Chains A and B, each alone.
Chain A
Amino acid sequence: MIRFVIRRILVSIPLIWALATLTFFIVRMAPGDPLAMYYNPEIDPSVMETLRVRLGLDQPIHVQYVKWLGALAQGELGVSFGRHRPVAEILAETIPNTLNLTIFSLALILVVGTAVGVVSAVRQYSLLDNVTTLSALFIYSMPGFWLGLMLIILFSLKLRWLPASGMESVNAEFLSAGARFLDHVRHLILPAFVLGIASAASVARYVRGSLLEVIRQDYVRTARAKGLSEGRVILRHALVNALIPVITLLGLYLPFLLSGAVVTETIFGWPGMGRLTINAIFQRDYPIVMATNLIAGVMVVAGNLLADVLYGVVDPRIRYE
């Protein structure tokens, strides 16, 4: 098991190198001058040249690549062109916010998806089952940004129940710890719902299918024959096994959630990595774009690794050679 994990990590390293290389060349081969934002009639052209040298943009591309890769290996992500601060510092502020949103959303996906899946499996072909099947179809087909806007119109603007943007209220600093936490959760509800709803629908479909398969097996009949209550049979005997394939899916939802975070954070004004990327793209802030691309890639690789490992943990029948 441990050997398997180590081997998987070793295999991931070239993958991450390839990700970094691809990112570098996509961004650097682009037309347009990253110094364009500094051009100003009041700045002397010689100053621009100094700036170019200081930022290392005067060197040939392969030299820049080797230097960048060397710095990257030491955890150095460079300095943002637009904000004049180390990229690592900016990321340290934004990544926790994205993780906060993503993890809350993941919990929502798991709880809501499983609950709906169990109910629609137990009551197969009931009205409720058909309604969830149909709504799952619509939820998959809905653009997340549109759903977000509709929820903002309904819950924030018309009903005024939930805040429309940001992570905290303006006066959050003056609230007591408990009230501040509640305030944060209120800000989380809408974005986490928008981010997770599509994945929750797919988890519900998986749980339903997998539970229906498990329910037909002999040991479930045995459990029923012992006289166990139906709830106990479903939850303690069937569901635990039905969740095995679902657990592994959670790692694979990570890229999906990260992609979704780009849009969700933009709509809800959430100061995370997705919004940072969008802003950096509009400002041609290459170091930030490269760093967020790379980090998103690394998170996906890590998610896949986690899925593989979890599969072995929850299902001892799986053996790694």
Chain B
Amino acid sequence: MRSLLSFVPGLGHAQHGRTGRGVILALVWLALLSVAVFGRARVAQAFSTPTPEEIRAGSVWSGPDAKAAVIVLYAGLVLIPVFSAWDCRRLRRGAPGRRVGESQWKAVYRRFGRNPVARTGLGLVLVLYAVALLAPLLAPHDPNAQVDIVETRYLAPGSVHVTDAGSRSFLLGTDKFGRDVLSRIIYGSRISLTIGFVAVGIAVTLGTLLGALAGYFGGKTDWLIMRFVDVLMAFPRIFLVLTLIAIYRPSIWLIVAVIGATAWMGVARIVRGQILSLKEQEFMQAARALGMPHARVILRHVLPNTISPVIVAASLMIGDVILTEATLSFLGLGVQPPTASWGNLINQGRDNLLGAWWIATFPGLAIVATVVSYNLLGDGLRDALDPRLKS
């Protein structure tokens, strides 16, 4: 019964005598789930980056179906937490207050919330993700539509192109092939944000794992792993990344894998250092003395204590990874056109720097804004998670 209560939406409301509310909640959930299940093809379409073949075959992502699916999904994602929070607060209002001590995460949350810089960073990052996810709704044009290339190429920002079919305005101008720069920047944000997140995920996982192994077991394992770290650190990273990517054919997943696989060394050093100092503490001896297997000691007792510096390092790394991806795409070794990414948009702008300065300028501003947001968020997280590090 308890497990049912926690899984079926609305059942708890019914049990507390609020059947109407419960039924509504259950229906909303049902509607959302059915959209998610039956409309998954459309949703996937709206969220995916199309292949060059799909782009040539015609517009696939800005159809009304895809837009509707995205709207429903978004409404659900935003409305349900808001409703739950409101409901919880209402239920709690009459209940007697419980007095509990402040947990570590609560303290972090409080410090983070008090820091205006951190809040700004978080807000900006959330806005950027919203833009990336809502791209089909926000982009004024199809990012790959070329319409009448003779008339619409190299239009200056703010120009309006009038035809018999109606007028099209280009807020940030058009590129060499008459495509809308603003729409391409909006769609390009998906690449940068996805790569930033996934590559950092890979780097953090690898770094934490190897750092934990090195620090926990020490001895030969430690020596081997840390010497490997030394060797990889001795390469200027871009050389390693460029070589690896150039050898294989550039694709988005290769870029993510290579950036992730060459960025983990810092995290490994941090985790190892933390574990070396943790190893001396009594709770570790206690855990071992209780006969726990190594895996359990590492996962349950060691790693949770190393998580703060890792989160800080990761959030500061995302900006760096986004810059690396942009550099690769700029050099022509990253995301390949016609798929829009900020780096290759800037590269295309090089063809006509003097005549069409807007093509290279605006994607760069988007990169700067994104990386600044992540750096602000990272600084805020550092101040909140580890007040001793505050500069």
Question: Do B331 and A266 touch (CB < 8 A)?
Answer: yes
**Complex-state Cα separation, A255 to B265, whole angstroms:** 15
**Complex-state Cα separation, A152 to B246, whole angstroms:** 28
In the complex, chain A residues whose CB is within 8 Å of the CB of B108: none
Tell me the smallest distance from the CB of A223 to a CB of chain B, in Å: 27
Given contacts A15-B234, A259-B236, A293-B235, contact A149 B242 (CB under 8 A): no
Report B201-250 residues with CB < 8 Å from chain A CB: 227, 230-231, 234-240, 242-244, 246-248
Tell me the smallest distance from the CB of A84 to a CB of chain B, in Å: 21
In the complex, chain A residues whose CB is within 8 Å of the CB of B350: 149
**Complex-state Cα separation, A96 to B372, whole angstroms:** 35
Question: Do B243 and A27 touch (CB < 8 A)?
Answer: yes
Given contacts A143-B323, A292-B239, A297-B234, contact A278 B331 (CB under 8 A): yes
Nearest neighbor of A154 in chain B, beta-carbon distance: B357
Question: Do A209 and B236 touch (CB < 8 A)?
Answer: no
In the complex, chain B residues whose CB is within 8 Å of the CB of A157: 353-354
In the complex, chain A residues whose CB is within 8 Å of the CB of B332: 282
Give the interface centre of A149, A284, A301 by most chain B CB atoms within 10 Å: A149
**Complex-state Cα separation, A81 to B319, whole angstroms:** 37
Question: Do A140 and B375 touch (CB < 8 A)?
Answer: yes
Q: Provide the A126-157 mask, 1 if CB < 8 A to any CB of B, else 0.
A: 00000000000110111111110110110001
> Is A296 interfacial (CB-CB < 8 Å)?
yes
**Complex-state Cα separation, A40 to B236, whole angstroms:** 37
> Is A263 interfacial (CB-CB < 8 Å)?
yes
Given contacts A15-B234, A263-B331, A266-B331, contact A30 B248 (CB under 8 A): yes
Report B43-82 residues with CB < 8 Å from chain A CB: none
> Is A32 interfacial (CB-CB < 8 Å)?
yes
Q: Provide the A271-290 mask, 1 if CB < 8 A to any CB of B, else 0.
A: 00000011001101000010
Question: Do B372 and A138 touch (CB < 8 A)?
Answer: yes
In the complex, chain A residues whose CB is within 8 Å of the CB of B335: none
Tell me the smallest distance from the CB of B11 to a CB of chain A, in Å: 48
In the complex, chain B residues whose CB is within 8 Å of the CB of A143: 323, 326-327, 330, 343, 346, 364, 367-368
Given contacts A145-B346, A296-B239, contact A137 B354 (CB under 8 A): no
**Complex-state Cα separation, A282 to B333, whole angstroms:** 9
Question: Do A153 and B248 touch (CB < 8 A)?
Answer: no
> Is A22 interfacial (CB-CB < 8 Å)?
yes
> Is A18 interfacial (CB-CB < 8 Å)?
yes
Nearest neighbor of B367 in chain A, beta-carbon distance: A143
**Complex-state Cα separation, A209 to B247, whole angstroms:** 43
> Is A262 interfacial (CB-CB < 8 Å)?
yes
Question: Do B247 and A32 touch (CB < 8 A)?
Answer: yes
Nearest neighbor of B232 in chain A, beta-carbon distance: A22
In the complex, chain A residues whose CB is within 8 Å of the CB of B281: none
Nearest neighbor of B347 in chain A, beta-carbon distance: A145
> Is B349 interfacial (CB-CB < 8 Å)?
yes
- Within 8 Å by CB of A300, from B234, B247, B326, B327, lies B234
Report A4-28 residues with CB < 8 Å from chain B CB: 15, 18-19, 22-23, 26-27
**Complex-state Cα separation, A222 to B326, whole angstroms:** 52
Q: Provide the B17-53 mask, 1 if CB < 8 A to any CB of A, else 0.
A: 0000000000000000000000000000000000000
Question: Do A149 and B371 touch (CB < 8 A)?
Answer: no
> Is A258 interfacial (CB-CB < 8 Å)?
yes
Q: Provide the A150-180 mask, 1 if CB < 8 A to any CB of B, else 0.
A: 1011000110000000000000000000000
Question: Do A141 and B372 touch (CB < 8 A)?
Answer: yes
Q: Provide the A235-258 mask, 1 if CB < 8 A to any CB of B, else 0.
A: 000000000000000000001101
Question: Do B364 and A297 touch (CB < 8 A)?
Answer: no
**Complex-state Cα separation, A19 to B243, whole angstroms:** 14
> Is A31 interfacial (CB-CB < 8 Å)?
yes
> Is B360 interfacial (CB-CB < 8 Å)?
yes
**Complex-state Cα separation, A278 to B346, whole angstroms:** 18
Given contacts A143-B367, A289-B243, contact A153 B357 (CB under 8 A): yes
Nearest neighbor of B350 in chain A, beta-carbon distance: A149
Report A63-114 residues with CB < 8 Å from chain B CB: none
Question: Do A141 and B349 touch (CB < 8 A)?
Answer: no
In the complex, chain A residues whose CB is within 8 Å of the CB of B326: 143, 145-146
Question: Do A30 and B361 touch (CB < 8 A)?
Answer: no
**Complex-state Cα separation, A147 to B246, whole angstroms:** 25
Question: Do B239 and A259 touch (CB < 8 A)?
Answer: yes
Give the interface centre of A19, A32, A143, A157 by most chain B CB atoms within 10 Å: A143
Report B354-391 residues with CB < 8 Å from chain A CB: 354, 357, 360-361, 363-364, 367-368, 371-372, 375-376, 391
In the complex, chain B residues whose CB is within 8 Å of the CB of A152: 353
Give the interface centre of B239, B343, B350, B361 by most chain A CB atoms within 10 Å: B239
Question: Do B231 and A18 touch (CB < 8 A)?
Answer: yes
Nearest neighbor of B360 in chain A, beta-carbon distance: A149
Question: Do A255 and B247 touch (CB < 8 A)?
Answer: no
Question: Do A153 and B364 touch (CB < 8 A)?
Answer: no
**Complex-state Cα separation, A234 to B385, whole angstroms:** 35
Nearest neighbor of B333 in chain A, beta-carbon distance: A281
21 contacts between A and B (CB under 8 A): A15-B231, A26-B243, A26-B244, A27-B243, A31-B247, A140-B319, A141-B372, A143-B346, A143-B367, A147-B364, A149-B349, A149-B350, A153-B357, A157-B353, A255-B235, A262-B242, A278-B242, A281-B246, A289-B243, A289-B246, A304-B234
Known: A26-B240, A143-B364, A145-B330. 5 other contacts (CB 8 A): A30-B247, A142-B367, A149-B350, A259-B238, A297-B235
Chain A residues within CB distance 8 Å of chain B = 15, 18-19, 22-23, 26-27, 30-32, 137-138, 140-147, 149-150, 152-153, 157-158, 209, 255-256, 258-259, 262-263, 266, 277-278, 281-282, 284, 289, 292-293, 296-297, 300-301, 304
